């Protein structure tokens, strides 16, 4: 019975890794669409978002079966409970990548000063997502703590982007609407960083039994 349970836990890990990779790809594609003005790529991000939603539902179903049929012991129970929380954050990351892509479709290839800072912010958030999933796979509390610490860097990026956009609007009213679109994109990246932080906190809980909010 335990061997079967371990096999199912292994499959759960594999699916979470796959879901994390899908989220990373969605963010990276949304960023590329933004920086290159590639509308077709932005549209593809929106089309592919259903795959993330379906994977989240599949993992949720697996977790519920493990809870109902296997009667996991304390550490396994923490792992499954954390997985359920994590996939919710991953699904929301996918939603926000889709939201960014949708804005890109309205920009129609328009670019302006300040895009470089958003690109740096995007890279930082992608790194947070990647490392939060890596921390789960490796059961690495130290790596999870690094992800949590990096959220302050992403927040600082957002503050800088916001200040820069306020200046741009003041200097060029004609680009005001576009600047607000960029601000919204930066806000989505900030939220993605928050979700990666949540994932890292649940990783720590799955290993130690302690959650930051507890």
- What is the domain partition of the chain in residue ranges? 2-208
pTM of the model: 0.90
Residues near 106 by Cβ (< 8 Å), separated by ≥ 6?
181
CA dihedral 92, 192, 84, 25 (to 10 degrees): 80
**pLDDT tens track, the chain, 214 positions:** 567 777 888 899 899 999 999 999 999 999 889 888 888 999 999 888 889 999 999 999 999 988 887 677 778 888 899 999 999 999 999 999 999 999 998 887 666 556 788 889 999 999 999 999 999 889 999 999 999 999 999 999 999 988 888 887 787 776 678 888 889 999 999 999 999 999 999 999 999 988 876 4
**Per residue, what are the HEC states of 121-147?**
HHHHHHHHHHHHHHHHHHCCHHHHHHH
Q: Which two structure tokens, joined as six digits, stand for 12?
A: 């759960």
Q: Which CATH superfamily, name and number, covers 2-208?
A: Phosphate transport system protein phou homolog 2; domain 2 (1.20.58.220)
């Amino acid at each position: 019975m335990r061997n079967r349970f371990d096999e199912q836990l292994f499959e759960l890990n594999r699916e979470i890794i796959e879901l994390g990779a899908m989220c990373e790809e969605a963010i990276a594609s949304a960023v590329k669409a933004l920086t290159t003005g590639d509308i077709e790529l932005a549209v593809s991000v929106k089309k592919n978002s259903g795959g993330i939603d379906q994977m989240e539902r599949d993992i949720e179903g697996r977790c519920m079966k493990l809870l109902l049929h296997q009667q996991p012991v304390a550490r396994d129970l923490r792992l499954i409970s954390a997985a359920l929380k994590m996939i919710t954050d991953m699904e929301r990351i996918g939603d926000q990548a889709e939201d960014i892509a949708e804005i890109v479709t309205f920009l129609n290839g328009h670019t302006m000063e300040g895009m470089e800072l958003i690109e740096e912010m995007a890279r930082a958030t992608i790194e947070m997502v990647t490392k939060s999933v890596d921390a789960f796979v490796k059961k690495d509390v130290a790596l999870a703590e690094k992800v949590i610490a990096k959220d302050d860097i992403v927040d600082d990026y957002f503050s800088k982007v916001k200040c820069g956009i306020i200046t741009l609007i003041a200097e060029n009213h004609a680009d005001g609407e576009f600047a607000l679109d960029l601000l919204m994109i930066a806000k989505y990246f900030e939220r993605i960083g928050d979700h990666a932080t949540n994932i890292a906190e649940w990783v720590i809980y799955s290993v130690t039994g302690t959650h930051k909010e507890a």
